[in-house]
Structure 1
Amino acid sequence: MSPTAALPSPDLPTATPHWVEGGGIEVLPRIFEDAITLAVLRRPLPHDLLAGALAQVRAERPLSFAWRGKPGDDLRAALLQALHCPGISDSLVEDIVILAEAMACLFDTQDVGLRLRRLDAPMCPRFHCDQLPVRLVTTYLGPGSEWLPEHAVHRAGLGAPHPGKPAIVLADAVIHRLETGDVALFKGGGWIGNEGKGLVHRSPTLGSDQPRLLLTIDPA
């Protein structure tokens, strides 16, 4: 996870970090801590998984896969049918199934909602806060999602823009970005006890020839 600049602006107030990151799976359950709104599992992507991701963004037909149900064999079969170049994409399919099963286990739910999309333009270019309990986000190719530490957010600026509304970002130097491959849990405003404090984030800007392969998973 790399910030646009590693240190916050000296003009901004400091606060106890509300995010955690690490290279082990044990970092993700920390999202249940009251003070934490972002938990990030940092991981490099192996070559076979990257090959499957590349096959999805290089195909002529854009990929937009949506699925809801109990993760397992049904999800695996649906992915193998929907994805381009299924022979090359086995590792990608297995990674998605594992993440879906982990999400179901972590939040004690039978079903999850899942979307895998090739994006050629930012999906949500404006900083915002999701009004849902929690979402898993990982970018297989392209730049990762951008987010703001709480001390850099002016929440009065959130929502639809209009004249006179204040800027959301107090200092561009503290915009953080997830790395490709990172698995992140975003706590939203719909999490009980987290109302008005959901993680503020946005889609990254994409170059003219820089598609992005994004996976999101919600507990259903």
Structure 2
Amino acid sequence: MSLNLQKIPQSVDLKDAVLTLIDGGSVNENATDKIPSLFGVVKSTHQDVLADIYQNNISMAIWQRQLGILSRYAQSVLILTPNLTLKLQGDSQYMVALMARLLPDAPGKKEFIEDVSLLTDMFACLFDLKEVGLRLSVLSSAMCPRFHVDKIPCRLVSTYIGAGSEWLHDAHVVRDKLGRGGHIKDYNSGLHEQGRINQLNVGDVAVMKGDEWPTSLGRGVVHRSPSASAEDKRLFLSLDII
């Protein structure tokens, strides 16, 4: 299975701008001259939707899917390795070899590793990366309970079991109330009083822009970790540009 990148608009070379930023260079000003007043979110049951992240007016692309047998293995991971935290860096072939050694043996392991490898390949293909940063963790508490924006160009997230990540539409955000601008004990700081909290479903694969995406500087997706507990854990995957 491969990701069709033909949907990326050829008139705006955002891919080069992102890669320039990753390499530590300056951003092409021509890539940031048409910043929309509001950013939208696009969803589809087809994987090609992830390429829409290159659209100027899109802040997050969500591939909606069902996990099937992967859910059973994810439950086995929670039981057999309740404190699992994998932090890896490399290509999908390297990831597969390590996960085969580090993940517990249970029905569905092969299919689970193949799925993580697929997402790694898709993410690498999307941004023309030789290596990807991977984190796979069992979570019994919220990693980032307050609404925030990642200080990176882009990130892929997916939840194999448990509650999905929570996020806000651009129109529902009060950005000066995020971080130090908000109340330290108010986990809803940054949410407009008439805004609504959205949530990814289990199995959804979301690619979200961060604050350092060239055409949305300072306007990345506002999101947070959902609640989790020892009785209600999550198996969470994130992929990063490195």
Alignment TM class, shorter chain as reference: 0.7 to 0.9
Gaps of 5+ in 1: 1-14
Query: Is 1:64 equivalent to 2:91 in the alignment?
Result: no
Gaps of 5+ in 2: 1-36
Q: What SS class does the counterpart of residue 133 from structure 2 fall into?
A: strand
Give distance in 2, aligned partners of 1:113 and 1:101.
12
Matches within 5 A, 1:127-146: 127-146=147-166
User: Which residue identity is paired with 1:170?
Assistant: H
Give distance in 2, aligned partners of 1:107 and 1:128.
23
Matches within 5 A, 1:148-187: 148-160=168-180, 167-171=189-193, 174-187=196-209
Give distance in 2, aligned partners of 1:39 and 1:116.
21
Q: What SS class does the counterpart of residue 34 from structure 1 fall into?
A: coil
Post-superposition offset of 1:171: 3.4
1:7 match: none
2:76 match: 55
Structure 1, 149-158 or 160-169: larger mean CA deviation: 160-169
Post-superposition offset of 1:182: 0.2
Identity, in percent, stands at: 35
Post-superposition offset of 1:138: 0.2
Post-superposition offset of 1:160: 3.0
2:227 match: 205
User: What TM-score results when the alignment is normalised by the length of structure 2?
Assistant: 0.79
Asked if the contact 1:154/1:168 (under 8 Å) is kept, the reply is: yes
Post-superposition offset of 1:164: 10
Post-superposition offset of 1:49: 1.0
Matching residue within 69, 82, 106 for 2:126: 106
Post-superposition offset of 1:219: 2.2
Q: Describe the shift of the 1:165–1:144 C-alpha distance in structure 2 as closer, same or farther (beyond 3 A).
A: closer
Asked if the contact 2:64/2:203 (under 8 Å) is kept, the reply is: yes
1:76 match: 96
User: Which residue identity is paired with 1:85?
Assistant: D
Q: Which has the higher contact order (CA 8 A, sep 6+)?
A: 1
2:146 match: 126
Give distance in 2, aligned partners of 1:127 and 1:117.
20
Post-superposition offset of 1:86: 5.2
2:59 match: 37
Post-superposition offset of 1:199: 0.2
Give distance in 2, aligned partners of 1:66 and 1:136.
15
Asked if the contact 1:51/1:89 (under 8 Å) is kept, the reply is: no
Q: What SS class does the counterpart of residue 209 from structure 1 fall into?
A: coil
2:9 match: none
User: Which residue identity is paired with 2:127?
Assistant: F
Give distance in 1, aligned partners of 2:172 and 2:164.
19
Give distance in 2, aligned partners of 1:164 and 1:180.
29
Give distance in 2, aligned partners of 1:153 and 1:100.
30
- What number of residue pairs does the alignment pair up? 204
